[in-house]
Amino acid sequence: MNAKRRKGIQALIDTLKRDFRETAGSTGIPAPDEALIEAIRRVPRDRFVTERDLDLAWENTALSIGYGQTISQPFVVTLMTQLLALTPESRVLEIGTGSGYQAALLGELAGEVYSIEVVPELAAQAESRLREMGYENVHVRAGNGRLGWPEAAPFDAVIVTAAAEEIPPTLVEQLRPGGRLVIPVDTGWYGQDLVLGVRGEDGGLETRNVLGVVFVPLVGRE
C-alpha cells in the first residue's frame, strides 16, 4: 500500500471516530467496532471513485459516480454498517450498489452479500470491479431493488442506500426474525431520517430513528 493511501485512510478513520463521538447523543453509538475500522482500512475507496476525484477519495464526503448517483459519505457508510451488527455468517441484502464500495465493505464483514442496482451500467461496473478485487462473496444484480432478492432470502440484514418514502414491505418480508434493516426514510422536510428496524418473532418491525441524513432517492415502484 502506498504512503499516500495509508495517510489518507488514517486521517479518514480519525475523522470517522470523531463523527461517531459527536453524533452519539442521537445514534447511541459512541464508536465503530474495531473489526469495522479494520475493514475500512482494507477496502481501497480510491478504486471506487472516478479518476477526477482520486484526490478526494479519502475525504469524508459523498462523490459523484455518474448517472446522477453518488458514492455515499464514509461516515454514513460506517454508521449504517455498524447498525447492521454483522457477523462472518451474516447474509446481507443491499439495495443500491452504486460504486460497489458499501458492498465491498459488507463483503469484508459478512458471509454472503447480495446487492441490487437499478442503473445497469453501474451494476456492470461495480460487478466487474468487485470481481477484479476478489470479492467472491458479493453478488451483484441489475434490477429494481424494491422487489428484493427472493431466491436468496431470508437475510440477516438488509441495507438500503437510497431514500424511500416509506419502508418497502417486500424487504421486511425477506428479513429473518431478529434480522436488521437500515434505510433512509423521507421526513417530509428536506432530507431523511436514517431508520433502524429490527424484525420481531411476530414478523412486525420495531423501528427507531437514528440520525438525519441526505441520500439520493430510491426510484421505481414495487
Kindly list the residues in this chain that would bind ligand SAH in the complex (CB under 6 A).
69-72, 95-96, 98-99, 101-102, 116-119, 122, 144-146, 161-162, 216, 218-220
Rounded least distance, CB 65 to ligand SAH, Å: 6
Q: Which is nearer to ligand SAH, 27 or 115 (CB)?
A: 115
Rounded least distance, CB 43 to ligand SAH, Å: 10
Q: Which is nearer to ligand SAH, 116 or 175 (CB)?
A: 116
Q: Is 128 a catalytic residue?
A: no
Q: Which is nearer to ligand SAH, 170 or 209 (CB)?
A: 170
Residues contacting residue 103 through CB under 8 Å, at least 6 positions apart? 94, 97, 113, 115, 126, 130, 135, 138, 140
Active-site residue, from 26, 64, 72, 99: 72
Q: How far is CA 123 from CA 8, 127, 180, 221, in A?
A: 27, 6, 24, 19
Rounded least distance, CB 60 to ligand SAH, Å: 14
Rounded least distance, CB 55 to ligand SAH, Å: 18
Rounded least distance, CB 199 to ligand SAH, Å: 21
Long-range contacts of residues 18-25, Cβ cutoff 8 Å, at least 24 apart = 19/60, 19/75, 20/75, 20/78, 20/79, 23/79, 23/211
Q: Which is nearer to ligand SAH, 8 or 98 (CB)?
A: 98
Q: Which is nearer to ligand SAH, 117 or 156 (CB)?
A: 117
Active-site amino acid positions = 72
